[in-house]
Chains A and B, each alone.
Chain A
């Protein structure tokens, strides 16, 4: 590092100050003509931008959203009762911006870029929250996997880098857990993670930050938080701010994962704002542009072309449904915008299938192309088998006699269901997933009886000891060569034999 001379700094500062021109700062001052419910009308404030930040007397900020001939309609960013009729208002000339860059990693910020963790932010670059999405020519097809570490998802509903995969389900079905587990699983990948809380309970956000910290995930993650007590404008801005931060990383060629938790609350915040601004209500009282609200946000997730650095933004938006109704207004909107959805069911959750992924209704429209070769090799017909099993299980629920082939199928289905259960914050590596599925395909679990989970974990630790070279090869290349497959299979059969002889019980 070259040494910096103090004289040089002094000289530079002197030059800067000498160049400084003292001239009057001229601007117009508007006056507040009405205040109510966080919405302000301002008289005599011409030449404002759409979305510009306005500064009120006392340092409160608002965002200009209605531009009219004789004034401006704005929403307040802070819940403040210090704004009164007759107060002065000044345009700042900038639209809402957020800081971007490596300094943000490990931090918690609010949607207008203020630090929420007590430490000052030392960001050097800023980007506007609202930005156009990458154009068609700037993109390339999704071709790299984003591993969630969750067997049910990586095997059947794979997500690629640059994809937008919706997580949808009722309250208390583990939507956030899937997103957080995915963030935790990025530990040894080069993906930067952003968790964006929209109108969440402050206690929930605190718990999530704690989970991330405990698992060492804050070293490559950051949180953009707006709580339920923040103004609707703040909640409305949160996902756009998170996306702008992500774009800052993407433009440097990095892969980013953004979790929007959740977009139903975002739509509600936008509805509140729109109704207070007297915009005409449409279906379910949402304004006419509520589709565009989410489509312009999710279009900004992209996989950039190699010439532009090849970065990507993967989006995991979350939608909360009411009573399992995925055909309500906002859920259908977001389903149609995204590249697939992970559907979680209350019934499955309560019957102990966790993560409660309904594999029949869940799809991934682009992830298959990005799936790891090794996974593609072993996951083949899993979805069909599972849906056939679920269908059959309904028929045989009343304990009717079944023939042998059906019985075998039911057994296999039960085994698979057991295997797909996975506790929170315990991601599987690619090798673990491949071994489990390979074992399942080759009926290694026939002698495990009811103890599938115990059998599986013993099997995995056995394999880690006996097939370390295969483990390395699979985890680093993402491929399972025929030779390695044979070695793995031999090891699996050996384990099966020794288990049968009671060596592992």
Chain B
């Protein structure tokens, strides 16, 4: 069974969190979920599965946008 750590800001609703978990369950089969709260990511979420990171946080996307625009 895979362990998935989901980091989200505290303003994420239980409903959204549940739907994210469902999505990952469909992809990975049975999985164990751990929720971590970090307001530094502003919004969105970061999922970690076996050392692989899927970063969909607003903070990282903004960083990326800044890099692309300023070159």
Contact = CB atoms under 8 A, between A and B. Distances in A.
Interface of A: 13, 16-17, 20, 22, 24-31, 44, 90, 124
A28 B69 contact: no
A28 B51 contact: yes
Interface string B52-66: 111110001100110
Nearest to A125: B71
A8 to B, nearest CB: 15
Contact of B69 (A16, A26, A31): A16
Given A29-B51, A31-B51, A44-B51, A24 B68 contact: no
Contacts, number: 39
Interface of B: 48, 51-56, 60-61, 64-65, 68-69, 71
13 contacts: A13-B69, A17-B65, A20-B69, A22-B61, A25-B53, A25-B55, A26-B54, A27-B53, A28-B52, A29-B48, A30-B51, A90-B53, A124-B71
Interface of A (DSSP majority class): mixed
A192 B70 CA distance: 28
Given A25-B53, A25-B60, A26-B54, 5 more contacts: A16-B69, A17-B69, A20-B65, A27-B55, A29-B48
A26 B53 contact: yes
A28 B55 CA distance: 11
B52 A29 contact: yes
A229 B60 CA distance: 34
Contacts of B53: 25-29, 90
Contacts of B48: 29
Contacts of B56: 24-25
Contacts of B55: 24-27
A124 B70 CA distance: 9
Contacts of A31: 51
Given A22-B61, A25-B60, A16 B68 contact: yes
A10 to B, nearest CB: 13
Nearest to A43: B51
A409 B68 CA distance: 73
Contacts of B61: 22, 25
Contacts of A28: 51-53
- Chain B CB within 10 A, most for which of A17, A25, A44: A25
A88 B48 CA distance: 11
A24 B51 CA distance: 15
A44 B49 CA distance: 13
Nearest to B71: A124
B4 to A, nearest CB: 14
A24 B52 CA distance: 12
Nearest to B65: A20
A13 B68 CA distance: 11
A503 B39 CA distance: 85
A411 B49 CA distance: 85
Contacts of A16: 68-69
Nearest to A12: B69
A16 B64 CA distance: 12
Contacts of B52: 26-29
A20 B68 contact: yes
A30 B52 CA distance: 9
